[in-house]
Chains A and B, each alone.
Chain A
Amino acid sequence: MKQSHKLTIFLIPIGVAVNFICGQIILLLKLPIYLDSIGTIAVGALCGGIPGAIVGAISNILNSITNPTNMAYIILNVLFGLLAGFLAKRGVFNSLWKTTLSALAFAIVGGGLGSRITYWFFGGLGAGTTGAITGILMQMGFSANTGVFITEFFADILDKIPTVIIVFLILQRIPAKTLVKLPQGKLFIKEKADTKGI
């Protein structure tokens, strides 16, 4: 409805900020992961694929101000948002084990397609620790193509498992009165509404 559409406009900046702040908290807690798509996936799940994709795109562009090579990967952030919206509709984020499994889907995009992008744009040797590991794999006899896929897929799955679990935990905690105002929020209040009865 129109009103839920309205709240979405104000949640997109929040999603972008969450993507950034998670990165900062990770730095503070000195954790070896990125977790920079929590906002994208959460907004995608709550408001739908398109708002999620917008969060991903804006986050990517803002990130690109300090490191423009990120821009090559903008499509990944867009796809994360779309995928989150789609998976939420299928009820994936309503159970912990389905959510955990969904990390695989995100890693196929992030690691699979991401490694293609690294290969096309950077010949496999992107800037970052994954680039170094790919380089070592290449020296060990793997082709650039395989090397980059192996490293990026595994790096991504390590990042996406905690990401989706955190998103799951957050979605669980959003109060029902807020969920009713979000386009896909009703997907997450099914049980609570049932227990309330009529």
Chain B
Amino acid sequence: MSYIELKQVSYQYPLASEWALNDVTYSFEKGKLYGIIGANRGGKTTLCNLVRGFIPHFYQGELMGQVLIEGKDIREWENHQLSTEIGYIFQNPFSQISGVKETVFEEIALGLENLGVDKDEMIERTIQVVKWLKLEDLIKKNPNNLSGGQRQRVAFASIIVMNHDILVIDEPTSQLDPSSTAEVFEIIHMLKEQKKTILLVEHKVELIAEYADEVLVFEKGQIASYGSPADILSRKDLMERGISIPSVALLGHEMREKNMAMDSIPITKSQALEQILKGGKNDD
């Protein structure tokens, strides 16, 4: 069953001369992780804003076509209903901290306060998320004094505690160092195991290759290609269009050019290793 459906959607930001999305049609299914890649200004963030309803509820501009969330047109959803249906995690770790709470524990619980959850349940749910995301050491700290990586984990916790079925995650690691990036991806991995429906925009294709069920490539406001990670991320022509592919895939292509036996182009390290080991055995 399609969960989020886009039917010939075009959108133009106010005063913009170009269409940010141009005739996009796609169906997102429940419980899958969608990796969304593409060059900057290709329409990725616009898609996120649209699915969450920030377009048209926050951003004006011209919207054509239909966006259906659980079968209901986005224009008919009340904005506050969407905030209970769809979680959203942003790129900038700094603008996601409310600025009105003195401890991380209170910061995480803020969304539940807004939802009117009663105190006992609020505390239990917050504890659960803190344990799940291993934020125990941070709970007493002032969220306004945390590092970018810590803030981003708190931002994840603040959304996860609200327990949405759909999560939109827009370049969560673009401002983080490698170790924080790994921590964030551990969180995303756990969310995937919980069978959440996830739309993940991410430049780090190695991570997309590892976790995504489907990959969408955005270019000039359109979906240029889509399919399984193995199909999409092994395509060398993406490189020419300014989109990187995993380095193991590049390696695979080079090995193939050197006439080495390859069943398929690997996109993750473990696949590459498997191929190489097999190759080694063939040589024996």
Contact = CB atoms under 8 A, between A and B. Distances in A.
Interface residues of B, number: 10
A193 B15 contact: yes
A13 B59 CA distance: 21
Q: How large is the interface on A (under 10, 10 to 19, 20 to 34, 35 or more residues)?
A: 10 to 19
Contacts of B60: 1, 3, 180-181
Give the residue among A1, A6, A180 with the most B Cβ atoms within 10 A. Answer: A180
Contact of B58 (A3, A176, A193): A3
A180 B14 contact: yes
Interface in A150-195: 176-177, 180-181, 189, 192-193
Contact of A196 (B17, B58, B59): B17
A196 B15 contact: yes
Contacts of A13: 99
A189 B15 contact: yes
Nearest to A13: B99
Q: Is the interface of B mostly helix, strand, loop or mixed?
A: loop
Interface string B49-90: 000000001111000000000000000000000000000000
B94 interface: no
B26 interface: no
A6 B58 contact: yes
The main secondary structure of chain A at its interface with chain B is helix
B57 A177 contact: no
A90 to B, nearest CB: 23
A46 B141 CA distance: 36
Contacts of B13: 177
A108 to B, nearest CB: 36
Nearest to B16: A177
A99 B31 CA distance: 57
Contacts of B59: 3, 181
Contacts of B16: 177
B57 A3 contact: yes
Interface in A5-19: 6, 13
Residue from B13, B16, B58 having most chain A Cβ neighbours under 10 A: B58
Nearest to B13: A177
Interface in A28-70: none
B26 to A, nearest CB: 26
A23 B58 CA distance: 33
A180 B57 contact: no
A180 B15 contact: yes
Contacts of A3: 57-60
Interface of A: 1, 3, 6, 13, 176-177, 180-181, 189, 192-193, 196
23 contacts: A1-B60, A3-B57, A3-B58, A3-B59, A3-B60, A6-B58, A13-B99, A176-B15, A177-B13, A177-B14, A177-B15, A177-B16, A180-B14, A180-B15, A180-B60, A181-B58, A181-B59, A181-B60, A189-B15, A192-B15, A193-B15, A196-B15, A196-B17
Given A180-B60, A192-B15, 19 more contacts: A1-B60, A3-B57, A3-B58, A3-B59, A6-B58, A13-B99, A176-B15, A177-B13, A177-B14, A177-B15, A177-B16, A180-B15, A181-B58, A181-B59, A181-B60, A189-B15, A193-B15, A196-B15, A196-B17
